A and B are shown apart, each in its own frame.
Chain A
Amino acid sequence: MTVARTVDIRSYRCPMTWVRVKLALEAIAPGEVLEVLLSGEEPARNIPRSAADEGHEVLGSEEGPEGMRLWLRKGC
């Protein structure tokens, strides 16, 4: 999997977390993958849901020492 762009939203709170992810998704082409670095329960719950609501594919996530990495494939 090739990541086209990474966005770090660990320092932001809702709704700026999704605002930052949305802007990052706008900056890549449909079909490309965005990697999101996040921390805390709120974005872990809401970012995948908001992304799916707007037609993006949630590819998966992984917990690491610096937070969670989440991968989204941009929809059309």
Chain B
Amino acid sequence: MLTDAQIERYARHILLREVGGSGQRRLLASEVRLEGISPEGAWAVLYLALAGVGRIVVADPRPVPAGGIPPLIPPSQAGRPRDAAAVPALAAHNPDVRLEVEAPGTWSEIGAVLRPKGADLLLFARAEGEASLVGWAEAPPCPACAPAGEATPEAAALAGSLAASRVLGFFLFGEAPAGILRFEGGRKEALAPCPHR
């Protein structure tokens, strides 16, 4: 049963035919682990917390950079472990979510990896230049296939929101079609599978 506070908080989801009260209860019973609190990961996990995913585990002990990790972690947290800094930031957005830091942490060196409980595949999200790479795979692409480089904040935001929508699609409808897509300039194309992993 949803509490009165939850009905208020998630009213807009309950109004959606695709979610409703039963879908919201499913989200509240779901769990996801985020490995890699990159800009993509920060956007994705923020959306998942706001959507009411019941339990979120974060893993990334690297220090928060000087500018913080928008939109989740402010510059005042610079130097703290990213996972420890993410927990109070997420709790401030939705006190309903149970938050944990995974210790010892494992994290993706490129982009973000989301592991929804019950999914056979992981969800990979990465911004590359102005492109956003998002999709389900057995393992994230290696650094050679998804090279490190500067990404625009817009691409990171898009990658994060696409990642969150895919994770929610798995929780609500069980959809997790394998294949990473590359979105750029209004076009999308399938990324060739990484042959190195």
Contact = CB atoms under 8 A, between A and B. Distances in A.
Contacts of B174: none
B28 to A, nearest CB: 14
Name the prevailing secondary structure of the B interface residues: helix
Interface string B4-47: 00011001101101001110000000000000000000000000
A38 B17 CA distance: 23
Nearest to A27: B21
Interface stretch (A12-20, A28-36, A56-64, A68-76): A12-20
B14 A19 contact: yes
22 contacts: A15-B11, A15-B12, A15-B15, A16-B7, A16-B8, A16-B11, A18-B15, A19-B7, A19-B11, A19-B14, A19-B15, A20-B7, A22-B14, A22-B15, A22-B20, A22-B21, A23-B2, A23-B7, A23-B14, A26-B20, A26-B21, A54-B17
B120 to A, nearest CB: 30
A31 B21 CA distance: 19
Name the prevailing secondary structure of the A interface residues: helix
Q: Report the interface size class on chain A.
A: under 10
A19 B14 CA distance: 6
Given A19-B14, A23-B21, 4 more contacts: A16-B7, A22-B14, A23-B7, A54-B17
A43 to B, nearest CB: 14
Nearest to A23: B21
Contacts of B22: 26
B42 to A, nearest CB: 30
Nearest to B8: A16
B50 to A, nearest CB: 17
A42 to B, nearest CB: 15
A74 B7 CA distance: 21
A10 to B, nearest CB: 16
Nearest to B24: A23
B63 to A, nearest CB: 43
**Which 6 A-B pairs have CB atoms at the shortest separation, nearest pair first?**
A23-B21, A19-B11, A26-B21, A19-B14, A26-B22, A15-B15
A72 to B, nearest CB: 16
Contacts of A15: 11-12, 15
Nearest to B12: A15
